[in-house]
């Protein structure tokens, strides 16, 4: 399915549907008429198989308590093995209403108040919030920015762990917002350092299915044939892959029995809710039948990314675009064309675009913006046109 076919088939108007992305622009940005290029969801309907499964469930008319059937485990386990080479076992799996909720659970389950939790920045801002909101010590290690390409300073990473007695590291893989898909060599180094110092790793792999050509997501749990899996928790979801965020369903994978017991003991004190029956239904259908839809989506993301690269490189080469290896979120460095203090004035007030501003991801992100590529090309084209015209190009 090419880009035009995918958009014709799945693009939908989201204004007037209580969409956070579009209908909360006035509340979030003070202006209801911006181009919504911020929060990470899409203007595309879910795969037909998902809609069909939900309609069948709704037609039944009963939305009582449910449980996770073997058919879901089979669908997800098959997806992970075929797409990522990770052979997950049913008994390792747990569930939550979302990855961010799970992060709060992990921090509370595995660390104590005022103990240190580390993130590498710039990174998805709920990582920051989860640490601070739970009264833990937030430790940040800044990624090295090499003209838009980001990598980890492993010496600084290890020093931060030692100096702060870090207990838990929250990894973002693939990384939001800088678009990195970590190589196996990079993962080995990170996980080895954490193992050396007894640091538990929580790996947020929600963007695992959204990688560009030439880049392959490697689950942290299979690095070095699973050498680090006993001190590792993986959390993922169908929400980013298939645009299902509002259905509140995500998967947690904990291989180590002791870590599972510790997790279960904590979660039963804060969550006595059964799984979301509609989220479960949608997830199983997506993992069973969503591949064709995902292929079309990836074509749209590549198309939009190439459009941004081509036009900005040609007309405003001073804007640095981080290579998009994974996710559908591109990271732009505007500091060579706009005073960082005036980024909001330029992007929002003049260019009329609602974006995730770089400083939301850490202070080193000031002067950067994150743009969503999982949308109709017309929105991306208009955003680029507005940026260039307001630069006088």
User: DSSP assignment, residue 11?
Assistant: B
Nearest to 284 by CA among 97, 7, 73, 22: 73
Specify the pLDDT at position 267.
Answer: 97
H or E element: which one contains 13? none
Q: Residue 157's pLDDT is what?
A: 98
- The DSSP-derived string for 147-214 is TTEEE--HHHHHHHHHHHTEEEEEEESS-TTT-----HHHHHHHHHHHHHTT-EEEEE-TTTT-B-TT
The structure's pTM equals: 0.97
Chain position carrying tokens 């490697």: 218
Domains of the chain: 3-47+291-390 (3.90.1150.10), 52-289 (3.40.640.10)
315-337 b/e with 16+ CB inside 10 Å = b?
ebeebbbbbbbbbbbbbbbbbeb
Pairing of strands 356-357, 368-372: antiparallel
> What is the pLDDT at residue 49?
98
8 Å CB contact between 355 and 31: no
Ramachandran area for residue 153 (φ above 0: left; ψ -120 to 50: alpha; else beta): beta
The beta-strand segments (E) located in 257-350 are 320-321, 329-333
Report the pLDDT value the prediction gives residue 1, as an integer from 0 to 100. Answer: 86
| Cross-strand pairs, 369 | 332, 357
User: Sign of the C-alpha dihedral, residues 308, 310, 312, 317?
Assistant: positive
Pair of tokens at residue 16: 């007037």
In this structure, are residues 216 and 185 in contact, taking their beta carbons and an 8 Å threshold? no
Q: How far apart are CA 34 and CA 147, in angstroms?
A: 30
pLDDT at 393: 77
Q: What is the 3-state secondary structure (H, E, C) of 68-98?
A: CCHHHHHHHHHHHHHHHCCCCCHHHEEEECC
In tens digits, what is the pLDDT along the chain, a chain of 393 residues?
Answer: 899 999 999 999 999 999 999 999 999 999 999 999 999 999 999 999 999 999 999 999 999 999 999 999 999 999 999 999 999 999 999 999 999 999 999 999 999 999 999 999 999 999 999 999 999 999 999 999 999 999 999 999 999 999 999 999 999 999 999 999 999 999 999 999 999 999 999 999 999 999 999 999 999 999 999 999 999 999 999 999 999 999 999 999 999 999 999 999 999 999 988 999 999 999 999 999 999 999 999 999 999 999 999 999 999 999 999 999 999 999 999 999 999 999 999 999 999 999 999 999 999 999 999 999 999 999 999 999 999 999 997
Of 185, 188, 178, residue with least CA distance to 221: 188
Q: Burial code of 267-287, b = ≥16 C-beta within 10 A, e = fewer?
A: beeeeeeebbbbbbbbbbbbb
Are the C-beta atoms of 390 and 350 separated by less than 8 Å? yes
Question: Quick count: other Cβ atoms within 10 Å of Cβ 123?
Answer: 23
d(CA 325, CA 182): 9
């Amino acid at each position: 399915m090419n880009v035009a076919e995918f958009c014709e088939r799945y693009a939908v108007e989201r204004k007037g549907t209580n969409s956070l992305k579009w209908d909360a622009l006035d509340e979030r940005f003070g202006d209801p008429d911006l181009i919504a290029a911020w929060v990470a969801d899409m203007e595309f309907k879910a795969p037909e198989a998902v809609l069909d499964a939900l309609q069948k469930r709704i037609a039944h008319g009963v939305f009582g308590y449910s449980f996770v059937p073997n058919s879901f485990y089979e669908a997800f386990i098959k997806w992970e093995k075929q797409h990522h080479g990770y052979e997950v076992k049913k008994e390792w799996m747990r569930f939550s209403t979302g990855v961010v909720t799970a992060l709060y659970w992990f921090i509370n389950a595995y660390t104590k108040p005022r103990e240190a939790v580390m993130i590498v920045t710039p990174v998805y801002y709920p990582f920051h919030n989860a640490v601070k909101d739970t009264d833990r010590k937030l430790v940040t290690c800044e990624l090295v920015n090499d003209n838009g390409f980001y990598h980890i300073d492993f010496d600084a990473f290890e020093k931060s762990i030692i100096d702060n007695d870090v207990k838990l590291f929250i990894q973002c893989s693939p990384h939001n917002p800088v678009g990195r898909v970590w190589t196996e060599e990079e993962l080995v180094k990170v996980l080895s350092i954490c193992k050396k110092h007894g640091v538990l790793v929580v790996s947020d792999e929600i963007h695992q299915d959204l990688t560009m050509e030439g880049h392959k997501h490697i689950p942290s749990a299979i690095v070095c044939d699973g050498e680090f899996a006993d001190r590792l928790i993986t959390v993922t979801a169908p929400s980013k892959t298939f645009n299902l965020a509002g259905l509140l369903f995500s998967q947690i994978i904990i291989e180590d029995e002791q870590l599972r017991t510790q997790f279960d003991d904590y979660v039963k004190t804060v969550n006595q809710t059964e799984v979301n029956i509609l989220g479960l239904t949608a997830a199983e259908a997506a993992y069973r039948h969503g591949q064709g839809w995902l292929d079309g989506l990836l074509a749209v993301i590549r198309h939009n990314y190439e459009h941004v690269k081509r036009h900005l490189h040609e007309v405003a080469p001073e804007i640095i675009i981080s290579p998009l290896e994974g996710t559908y979120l591109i990271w732009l460095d505007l500091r060579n064309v706009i005073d960082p203090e005036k980024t909001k004035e330029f992007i929002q007030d003049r260019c009329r675009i609602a974006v995730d501003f770089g400083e939301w991801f850490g202070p080193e992100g000031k002067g950067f913006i994150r743009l969503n590529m999982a949308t109709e090309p017309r929105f991306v084209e208009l955003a680029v046109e507005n940026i260039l015209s307001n630069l006088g190009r």
